[in-house]
């Protein structure tokens, strides 16, 4: 082909996805294909090219910034012509879905508030609050299960936060892995930890200042100055901050194990690293990395970038869902179309609503959105006023390097669809904790069917129409074609997949002398139960301990784990 013009810009990172080989082909042809592609990558005029295999079907091609554009384009064209290649795509950056609202309350300034609302988004709805997810009521049915692993693909996590902590130190964080690769040979500007892929997913901070940009113009070419976000620590806290410990905040899932997978560094992360992190989190093999022995049942990705879902991303999503893992992603904060990977087929994509239930101005929207959840919004817009509807979560106080555990609040606000997605991921964890046989499709369908209808504000247009200026810029009344099926309802979602009534009915049929047909199941605290007045007895299940209990005049009998009874009765099956 003709050489690219000198001023053409050709990306120096590409991802190669192979076609799905037959089983007969896979054993014999895999190494031969890899060798052939490696030879294709090593073309005259491109000595710096490196082809790295990350899975049976994925390769990453990298070249030096100084590589001739024409030679690099020729290499890409040659790779695309290989009969086993499905796609060769630029290895694009994906960034944490953060947001800078257009009101002055976002700045890190000390505000005074006389109206604290705490974790308003987890409670029931009252007054102006219409979008809270009602997790508090769901905890009477289930508080999650340690058999469920929720992976957080993000900037890493601060293991020293007292509301998180490693499993071995009394917390629920697993060891995880770091998939932020090097910028170039022995160059770790984006990673900011002195290494590429390794077993330490700790977040060292993703700060960028003017001096760093000036000294690393290539690696940080599309980045802007900002303090460290501690984004992964924030999303992990929403899902699983330690609860009932008298410290800080409450997570939504009280028992699930949290798997931190670091895929974002300074200026975000590359698609190839994110896909490798996704596959590893789900228990799939990633070349050069020890296998994950704690495969996630749920993956949360509060990140994304513009453009359609890439072939590499969709292939990975399909593999992961087929394995039985639920994938949750935030829609984005552009106020425009849903970003990738939220626009990949099969993903549970989460948009953001205000406390009143209307679309928050910055939330992306479109037919790919599955459901919405609170994203945080600042009602007060005057100087030195607090952000009343911030999403409180775990963070670090450092502006660059870690400086100590902290929490976001009205004075240090936290908003964005990044924080809507982990609410849905955590509720999916609760659902799988009470019914572990759920498939990703069943989980998604139950979240949608149990969601609450959107309210209507007569002063706003229906989405995608929105207010163009002023304090309400970007807001609109959600519709099911733009904001998903409705607003997340944790209680309804858990009840939709809860086998308890089925178990009680089965028990009554099995031992009618002991359990003559009882009334409707009642709930008190962490107990679901039925009372049998003719026997003066109770059959119940404890949400906090997960045990089946029988109470009669003879006393309390612990009949064993509810999971065993659900299996024996066949009650895990959904209608």
Report residue 270: phi and psi, to 5°.
Answer: -85, 150
Catalytic residue among 97, 121, 161, 231: 231
91 is catalytic: no
What order of strands is seen across the sheet that includes strand 269-270? 269-270, 93-96, 303-304
Q: HSE (CB half, 13 Å, CA atoms) of 566?
A: 19
CB atoms within 10 A of CB 260: 30
CA torsion, points 287, 270, 83, 342, in degrees to nearest 10? 110
| Cα–Cα dist 515/219, whole Å | 69
Catalytic residue among 181, 364, 390, 418: 418
SS3 315: helix
**What is the 3-class SS of 115-151, one letter each residue?**
CCCCCHHHCCCCCCCCCCCCHHHHCCCCCCCCCCEEE
Per the CB < 8 A criterion, the answer to whether 197 and 52 are in contact is no
Catalytic residue among 91, 103, 154, 183: 154
Task: Write the DSSP assignment of 346-411 as a string of letters.
Answer: T-EEEEEE-TTSSBPTT--BSTT--EEEE--B----STTB--TB----EEE--SSS---EEE--SS
Total residue count of the chain as it appears in this document? 575
154 is catalytic: yes
Q: Which residues contact 322 (CB under 8 A, 6 or more apart)?
A: none
Per the CB < 8 A criterion, the answer to whether 275 and 181 are in contact is no
| Cα–Cα dist 521/354, whole Å | 34
Q: Which residues contact 31 (CB under 8 A, 6 or more apart)?
A: none
Catalytic residues: 154, 231, 418
């Amino acid at each position: 082909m003709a050489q690219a013009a000198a001023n053409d810009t050709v990306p120096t990172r590409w991802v190669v996805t192979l076609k799905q080989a037959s089983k007969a082909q896979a054993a014999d042809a895999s190494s031969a294909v890899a060798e052939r592609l490696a030879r294709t990558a090593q073309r005259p005029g491109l000595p710096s090219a490196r082809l790295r295999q990350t899975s049976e079907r994925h390769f990453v091609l990298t070249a030096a910034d100084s590589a001739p554009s024409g030679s690099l384009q020729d290499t890409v064209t040659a790779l695309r012509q290989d009969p086993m290649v499905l796609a060769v795509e630029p290895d694009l950056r994906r960034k944490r879905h953060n947001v800078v609202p257009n009101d002055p309350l976002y700045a890190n300034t000390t505000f005074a508030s006389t109206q604290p609302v705490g974790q308003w988004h987890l409670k029931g709805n009252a007054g102006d609050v219409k979008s809270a997810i009602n997790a508090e009521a769901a905890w009477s049915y289930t508080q999650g299960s340690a058999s469920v692993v929720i992976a957080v693909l993000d900037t890493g996590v601060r293991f020293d936060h007292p509301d998180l902590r490693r499993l071995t130190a009394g917390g629920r964080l697993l060891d995880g892995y770091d998939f932020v690769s090097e910028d170039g040979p022995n160059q770790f500007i984006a990673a900011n930890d002195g290494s590429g892929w390794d077993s330490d997913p700790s977040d060292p901070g993703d700060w960028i200042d003017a001096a760093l940009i000036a000294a690393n113009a290539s690696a940080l070419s599309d980045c802007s100055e900002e303090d460290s976000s501690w984004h992964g620590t924030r999303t992990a806290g929403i899902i699983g901050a330690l609860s009932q410990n008298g410290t800080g905040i409450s997570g939504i899932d009280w028992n699930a194990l949290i798997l931190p997978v670091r895929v974002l560094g300074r200026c975000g992360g590359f698609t190839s690293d994110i896909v490798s992190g996704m596959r590893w989190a789900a228990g799939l093999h990633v070349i050069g990395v020890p296998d994950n022995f704690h495969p996630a049942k749920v993956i949360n990705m509060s990140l994304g970038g513009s453009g359609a879902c890439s072939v590499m991303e969709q292939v990975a999503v399909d593999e992961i869902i087929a394995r039985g893992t639920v994938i949750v992603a935030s829609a984005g904060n552009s106020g425009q179309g849903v970003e990738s990977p939220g626009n990949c087929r099969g993903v549970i994509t989460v948009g953001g609503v205000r406390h009143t239930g209307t679309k928050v101005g910055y939330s992306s929207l479109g037919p790919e959105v599955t459901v919405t959840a609170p994203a945080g919004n600042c009602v007060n817009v005057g100087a030195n006023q607090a952000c009343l509807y911030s999403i409180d979560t775990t963070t670090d106080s450092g502006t660059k390097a870690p400086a100590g555990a902290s929490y976001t609040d009205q004075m240090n606000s936290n908003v964005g669809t990044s924080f809507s997605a982990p609410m849905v991921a955590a509720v999916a964890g609760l659902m799988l904790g009470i019914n572990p046989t759920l498939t990703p499709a069943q989980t998604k369908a139950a979240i949608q069917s149990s969601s609450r209808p959107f309210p209507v504000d007569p002063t706003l247009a229906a989405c995608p129409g929105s207010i163009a200026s002023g304090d309400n810029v970007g807001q609109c009344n959600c519709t099911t074609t733009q904001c998903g099926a409705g607003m997340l309802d944790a209680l309804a979602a858990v009840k939709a997949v809860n086998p308890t009534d089925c178990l009680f009915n089965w028990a009554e049929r099995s031992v009618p002398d002991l359990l003559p047909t009882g009334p409707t199941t009642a709930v008190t605290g962490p107990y679901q139960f039925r009372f049998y007045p003719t026997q003066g007895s109770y059959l119940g299940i404890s949400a906090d301990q997960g045990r089946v209990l029988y109470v009669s005049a003879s006393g309390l009998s612990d009949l064993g784990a509810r999971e065993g009874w659900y299996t024996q009765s066949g009650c895990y099956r959904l209608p």
